[in-house]
């Protein structure tokens, strides 16, 4: 069985490691306006996301344009009910260990300025 650095080989994998010896990881991707990109990234990093080996605060990001239309009853951070809004947004992608994904998503939601943040969580597979 493959083991992670610092782990002793045993018949039962250490917590967080699969039978193949790999830690289950997720990719978290989210969209955030430029005014809040650092605040949201720092909150997600503080929850433990973005760690790869001996590195932390690892992410990939690209600036793009998002579109949405607030519906009646919404409380948009940007825009007006019923009007299509186009805005600049950063797409940020990072990895998160299985045992930290719930905390990372909670930190994202707590720190994000949008009423309903757009985000994706993808389970990654070891090859």
55-80 pLDDT, tens per residue? 999 999 999 999 999 999 999 999 99
Q: What is the domain class of 25-123 according to CATH?
A: alpha beta
Contact 88, 34 (CB under 8 A): yes
3, pLDDT greater than 90: no
Give the number of C-alpha atoms closer than 13 A to the C-alpha of residue 13, restricted to the C-beta side. 14
pTM reported for the whole predicted model: 0.80
- Neighbour-count burial of 10, counting CB atoms closer than 10 A to its CB (0-12 exposed, 13-18 middle, 19+ buried): exposed
Whole-number average pLDDT of the chain: 88
pLDDT band at 95 (very low <50, low <70, confident <90, very high): very high
The residue extents of the domains of the chain are 25-123
Asked if residue 111 has pLDDT above 80, the reply is yes
Angle at which helices 101-111 and 37-46 pack, to 10 degrees? Answer: 150
């Amino acid at each position: 069985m493959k083991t992670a650095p610092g782990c002793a080989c045993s018949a039962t994998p250490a917590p967080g490691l699969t039978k193949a010896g790999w830690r289950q990881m997720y990719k978290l991707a989210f969209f955030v306006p430029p005014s809040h990109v650092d605040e949201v990234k720092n909150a997600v990093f503080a929850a433990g996301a973005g760690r790869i080996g001996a590195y932390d605060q690892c992410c990939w990001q690209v600036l793009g344009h998002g579109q949405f239309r607030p519906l009646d009853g919404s409380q948009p951070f940007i825009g007006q009910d019923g009007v299509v809004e186009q805005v600049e947004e950063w797409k940020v992608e990072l990895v998160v260990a299985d045992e930290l994904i719930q905390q990372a998503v909670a930190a994202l939601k707590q720190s994000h300025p949008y009423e309903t943040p757009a985000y994706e969580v993808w389970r990654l597979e070891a090859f």
